[in-house]
């Protein structure tokens, strides 16, 4: 009977051979850097077997519509369904898809009728690779087909505002353009305070024109300056401008001049 140590060593050798095979046959870089040193060889073996399965299936896969992939189930046209009927049909269609390894998610709120129409009229004829591996899920997101720019912008502004007023956090998130990350006026303003207390942040309006957007937000906050000045308070509207870079909305400008002028601050706009 083999000891546990021998079995582990044999599995490690097998994994090494699998990594080499995947590298040679599929050009995959599965060197030591891709995994944790604490990864059990049994888990790595399962992972490598899955990768090998996928690569073989992928290179021999034909293209097929989502509708054919899930077995061409019967479904009713959206326009023929009442709201109650549609809700039941939507649930039924999603269950059929999930059993066949297809899932559909939404980031923001989407009406049932709109989602059902999307699934049956847009997703069903959409072509995918005919790859079927146990446990594999192909995930589709509604907003990848129908972006909700206004909600994306609101989400990114909310994150930016929270980051801006958190002194302990660097102001350099993925939601900012390089231009804003290097804006000295913005950093000077934040560095002039020891802390902020954000009371209110409400997005009042978002205007999108092509790949540019402008939002108006109402802010209420207070800040304790480093230079011994009394606590500064602000309440009012501030403009935020954004750019769509590589399909992703990034905050490009914050109206810090408006903040500076409204408070008893000096030499921050330089």
H, E, C per residue of 179-205:
HHHCCHHHHHHHHCEEEEEEEEEEEEE
Which is nearest to 67 in space by CA: 136, 130, 142, 112?
A: 130
Q: Which of 73 and 48 is assigned the larger pLDDT? A: 73
Q: Which of 259 and 151 is assigned the larger pLDDT? A: 151
The 10s digit of each residue's pLDDT in 11-41 is: 777 767 767 666 666 666 666 555 666 777 7
Write phi, then psi, for 86 (nearest 5 degrees): -65, -40
Question: What value does the mean pLDDT take over residues 128-147?
Answer: 88
Residue 45's pLDDT band (cuts 50, 70, 90): confident
Q: Which residues neighbour 97 within 8 Å (Cβ) at sequence distance 6 or greater?
A: 66, 70, 103, 104, 119
Residue 20 parent element (H or E): helix 4-26
Least confidently predicted of 30-34, 108-112, 171-175: 30-34
Kindly state the DSSP code that residue 79 receives in the 8-state scheme: G
The 10s digit of each residue's pLDDT in 258-267 is: 676 655 544 4
CA distance 212 to 244: 6
Domain ranges for the chain:
4-59, 63-145, 149-262
Neighbours of 219 (CB within 10 A): 19
Which is nearest to 158 in space by CA: 89, 206, 98?
A: 206
Average per-residue pLDDT in the chain? 85
pLDDT of residue 214: 97
Inter-axis angle of helices 4-26 and 41-59, nearest 10: 30
pLDDT of residue 185: 86
Question: What are the E-state strand segments in 61-192?
Answer: 63-65, 102-105, 127-129, 138-141
Residue 269's pLDDT band (cuts 50, 70, 90): very low
Write phi, then psi, for 2 (nearest 5 degrees): -75, 140
pLDDT of residue 266: 44
CATH number of 149-262: 3.10.450.50
């Amino acid at each position: 009977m083999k000891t546990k140590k021998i079995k582990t060593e044999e599995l490690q050798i097998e994994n090494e051979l699998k990594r080499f095979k995947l590298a040679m046959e599929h050009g995959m870089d599965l060197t030591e850097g891709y995994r944790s040193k604490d990864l059990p060889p049994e888990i790595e073996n399962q992972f490598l077997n899955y990768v090998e399965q996928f690569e073989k299936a992928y290179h021999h896969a034909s293209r097929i519509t989502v509708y054919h992939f899930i077995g061409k189930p019967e479904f009713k046209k959206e326009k023929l369904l009442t709201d109650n009927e549609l809700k039941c049909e939507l649930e039924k269609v999603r269950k059929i898809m999930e059993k066949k390894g297809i899932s559909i998610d939404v980031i923001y709120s989407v009406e049932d009728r709109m989602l059902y129409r999307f699934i049956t009229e847009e997703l069903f004829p959409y072509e995918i690779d005919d790859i079927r591996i146990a446990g594999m899920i192909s995930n589709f997101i509604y907003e990848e087909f129908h972006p909700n720019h206004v909600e994306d912008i609101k989400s990114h502004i909310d994150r930016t505002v929270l980051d801006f007023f958190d002194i302990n956090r660097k102001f350099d998130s993925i939601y900012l353009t390089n231009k804003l990350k290097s804006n000295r006026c913005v950093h000077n303003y934040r560095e002039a305070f020891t802390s902020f207390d954000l009371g209110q942040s409400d997005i009042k309006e978002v205007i999108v024109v092509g790949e540019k957007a402008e939002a108006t937000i109402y802010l209420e906050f207070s800040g304790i300056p480093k230079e011994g000045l009394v606590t500064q308070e602000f309440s009012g509207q501030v403009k935020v401008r954004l750019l769509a870079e590589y399909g992703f909305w990034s905050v490009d400008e914050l109206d810090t001049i408006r903040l500076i002028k409204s408070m008893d601050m000096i030499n921050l706009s330089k």
